[in-house]
Amino acid sequence: MKEKIKAYAAGIGIKETGFARYGQSAAVVCLFPYFSGYRPGNLSVYAYSTDYHIILRDKLKLICDFLIENGASRAESFADIGPAVDKDLAYHAGLGFYGRNTLMINPRLGSYFFIGYVVTDMELEPDSPIKGGCMGCGRCVKACPGGALDGGFCEERCVSAISQKKGELTDEEARLIKKAGYAFGCDICQRVCPHNQIPLSPMPEFTENQIYDIKEDMFADLSNRQFREKYGRYAFSWRGKAVLLRNIRILNKK
């Protein structure tokens, strides 16, 4: 049955699928590569296209339906927000290893992928973690603009986390935003990672309707409702226009 599930997943564009144990249930874990190349702009690559939650939700719904059609009585999907730590499930499903930058790395996809999973009562033998691991070169540690990876991960120094904070930023946080050059997210630790220096091919859904550079005049005259209507399907919109405008103004400040 596992091979049948993998074949079905491949048929709907999911390139990597593995199986893990979650409590008394089985988890079908799927990787969704999104890297479509770097563009000249101020957004993290993962935010270029349609919000990944939407794409993963639709694909995982198909997996759920397939499991039910093949004898499962329960199949529930999760993307980003769920009862399990998705990176841990991916590790135990044999889909990757932990990088020094805290990201999950797959030997074929690097780290530019999202993780989604389906919890089911179907009996599925779990896979085993793969051998090998992070090269340990330390490039991500040295390149991180906030020093967030020195001696372990410090979220308070992570530009991606800072860029999504609400309210006023401290002078130091604003300095880090300016230094990194991102209005939303940050890719620096991934850009320098040797595991990402391989040909990467995204799912087609992540190449459509891209926005990779956001400017003040895109949002300033929009009401919050108008903003949501125009940009609500993009991952960068979830914190609202005020956070984006704040970050853009920091980047534009002389």
pLDDT of residue 150: 92
124, amino acid identity: L
Confidence of residue 194 (pLDDT cuts 50, 70, 90): very high
Average pLDDT, the chain: 95
- Tell whether the model's pLDDT for residue 234 goes beyond 90: yes
Task: Give the pLDDT mean for 30-36.
Answer: 96
Sequence-distant (6+) residues with CB within 8 A of 192 are 139, 140, 142, 143
pTM score of the predicted model: 0.94
State both tokens at 120.
């089911």
Confidence of residue 199 (pLDDT cuts 50, 70, 90): confident
Distance CA 82, CA 204 (A): 25
Distance CA 169, CA 123 (A): 49
Task: Give the pLDDT mean for 18-28.
Answer: 97
- Taking the alpha carbons at both ends of the chain, their separation in whole angstroms is 60
Work out the number of other CB atoms within 10 angstroms of the CB of residue 79: 21
What single-letter DSSP state applies at residue 235?
G
Confidence of residue 254 (pLDDT cuts 50, 70, 90): confident
Confidence of residue 151 (pLDDT cuts 50, 70, 90): confident
Distance CA 106, CA 196 (A): 9
- The catalytic residues are 80
State both tokens at 238.
């979830």
72, amino acid identity: A
pLDDT of residue 226: 97
User: Rounded to the nearest 5°, which phi and psi values hold at 41?
Assistant: -170, -165
Distance CA 34, CA 143 (A): 22
- Tell whether the model's pLDDT for residue 153 goes beyond 90: yes
User: Rounded to the nearest 5°, which phi and psi values hold at 83?
Assistant: -75, -15
pLDDT of residue 152: 87
Query: Side-chain half-sphere of 133: how many Cα atoms within 13 Å?
Result: 8
- Tell whether the model's pLDDT for residue 77 goes beyond 90: yes
Are 27 and 197 in contact, with CB atoms under 8 Å apart? Answer: no
pLDDT of residue 40: 94
- Tell whether the model's pLDDT for residue 198 goes beyond 90: no
Task: Give the pLDDT mean for 145-166.
Answer: 96
pLDDT of residue 200: 79
Task: Give the pLDDT mean for 86-106.
Answer: 96
pLDDT of residue 216: 96
What are the residue boundaries of the structural domains of the chain, listed by start?
Answer: 2-120, 139-252
pLDDT of residue 69: 97
State both tokens at 83.
């009862």
- Tell whether the model's pLDDT for residue 203 goes beyond 80: yes
